[in-house]
Amino acid sequence: MKRKVVCYSLGVFGSLVLMSGSCDKKEVVCDGNHAELTYEKDIKPIIDDNCIHCHEGYSSFTGLKVSINNGAFEREVIVRQTMPQGGKLKMEELVMIKCWLDGGADEK
């Protein structure tokens, strides 16, 4: 029987785990060091390497923007960290994506 792991964030103090298991999600916060991010130079390579083999629509900015606008992209990649399936983004990649999203997720 698979047990459900419930994680509660305690901010800078880490995570409290109820039941058995572990919380491997990390809180992703834009660190302010990514002011010059661009979609083409910084974000598209991450998407191309990790997403488009399952999400063909993400091969264009327009296709990706649909999931950004409805909140699905941030929810699954940054908050839940369930994407990419079968892999994990590096924290630096998560921070870059978070900063880009926080900055308006522009194509430029």
Say what the pLDDT of residue 7 is: 53
Q: Does the model's pTM come out above 0.85?
A: no
Say what the pLDDT of residue 26 is: 84
Write the pLDDT tens digit of every residue in 50-61: 999 999 999 999
Instruction: Tell which residue, 10, 9, 8, has the closest CA to residue 18.
Output: 8
Say what the pLDDT of residue 19 is: 36
Alpha-carbon distance values, 58 to 3, 44, 52, 64, 94 (Å): 34, 9, 6, 4, 17
103 residue type, one letter: G
Write the pLDDT tens digit of every residue in 6-47: 454 444 444 443 433 445 678 998 988 777 899 999 999 999
Alpha-carbon distance values, 62 to 4, 59, 70, 96, 106 (Å): 36, 9, 13, 19, 11
